[in-house]
Amino acid sequence: MKRFVDRLRKEDGGFTLIELIAALSLLSVVLGVIYATITFGMSSYERVKIQNSLRDEGDLAMTAIMTKLYAYGPAKLAQLDAGSGVRLIPAFAETQAEVVRIGKDANGKGTLFIGKNPAVLEETDSGDALDLTSSLVTEGEASSSILLGCEDGGKECASGLLTIRLRLLQSYGGRDYTLDLESRFGF
């Protein structure tokens, strides 16, 4: 038995405690850096995805408003109360006035209305309408608004400046992401 123990001691090829602690320390540092890099990359990806979504929806909303203005061709524009929108007054009496406004839908979500219905911003190849995944902020100091600036200072005019300010809000992971978009159009 003594011979066996002596031979086992001579062939001892294991690690010492110091070597084991050093190896585990280096491994934990490397794994910590890898984990931090992966989680930072994933959170950055989600943040950029939401920002791109907000930009796309803002562009689509502005395009819907401008398309309605150019397609309808109003003779005059009239300001609605509290900057919530404008009334498009037609050149001919036979045509009915249209309204472009920002308000809350049946679910209490801020949305853009063209006429009496929520705006259809885009259609997919199958013909289905895409809904906004974000909401327009309708309350507070920095809310969405459509303001009319007339040369004579009145509430109705044939030429002036139309200022459209959209504040889009989207929630993800318990955080709110916002995008402010402002455009001015002379008419």
In a domain, 6, yes or no: no
Instruction: List residues bridging with 123 in a β-sheet.
Output: 129
In a domain, 149, yes or no: yes
Instruction: List residues bridging with 182 in a β-sheet.
Output: 165
In this prediction, residue 45 carries a pLDDT of: 93
In a domain, 182, yes or no: yes
Nearest to 162 by CA among 63, 66, 73: 66
Q: What is the largest CA-CA distance in the chain?
A: 116
In a domain, 180, yes or no: yes
Instruction: List residues bridging with 160 in a β-sheet.
Output: 150
In this prediction, residue 127 carries a pLDDT of: 47
Nearest to 157 by CA among 166, 147, 148, 144: 148
In a domain, 18, yes or no: yes
Q: pLDDT, tens digit, for every residue of 103-115?
A: 777 777 777 777 7
| Dihedral angle sign, alpha carbons of residues 39, 44, 46, 47 | positive
In a domain, 2, yes or no: no
In this prediction, residue 81 carries a pLDDT of: 78
Q: pLDDT, tens digit, for every residue of 68-104?
A: 888 877 888 888 777 778 888 887 766 677 778 777 7
What range defines the domain where residue 156 resides? 14-186
Other Cβ atoms less than 10 A from the Cβ of 131: the count is: 15
Spans of the chain below 70 pLDDT: 4-5, 7-13, 93-95, 119-134, 138, 140-141
Domain count, the chain: 1
Those residues with Cβ within 8 angstroms of residue 105's Cβ, 6 or more apart along the chain or in another chain: 111, 118
